[in-house]
Amino acid sequence: MTVWVQAGDDLILAVRLTPGAAKEMVGGVWTDEKGAQWLSARVRAVPEKGRANDALVALLGKYLDWPKGAISLESGDSNRLKRLRIRGGAQPRLISIIEQQVDVT
């Protein structure tokens, strides 16, 4: 199992977001009760008016060195568990970066 799936030229990334964290970071994996894996992410922003979601997109853009405009929320607007689409992200370089973040504990 992995935290991403390829959808044509895009990647769909499964993320478990912790808003209101002391430190922003991406790394590690969280497994739900059904065995699905989610990349862990923490942002300082609070979950009000989409601030945490916007901060997550910005954080992923930074970590992946990918334009924020090419990362969009597919599902989980008001949930900790989110699916994000990374347009044009089905590239070995990006997949490698994501896999490295999964291995972080």
Strands (E) located in 1-105? 4-7, 10-18, 25-31, 37-42, 71-75, 81-86
Q: What is the pTM of this model?
A: 0.91
Q: Token match 């993320």: residue? A: 15
Q: How confident is the model at residue 1 (pLDDT cuts 50, 70, 90)?
A: low
Over range 90-95, report the average pLDDT. Answer: 88
Q: How many CB atoms lie within 10 A of CB 46?
A: 11
Q: Which of 11, 19, 16, 18 is nearest to 97 (CA)?
A: 11
Q: How confident is the model at residue 103 (pLDDT cuts 50, 70, 90)?
A: confident
Q: How confident is the model at residue 102 (pLDDT cuts 50, 70, 90)?
A: confident
pLDDT digits (tens, 9 = 90+) for 46-73: 999 999 999 999 999 999 999 999 999 9
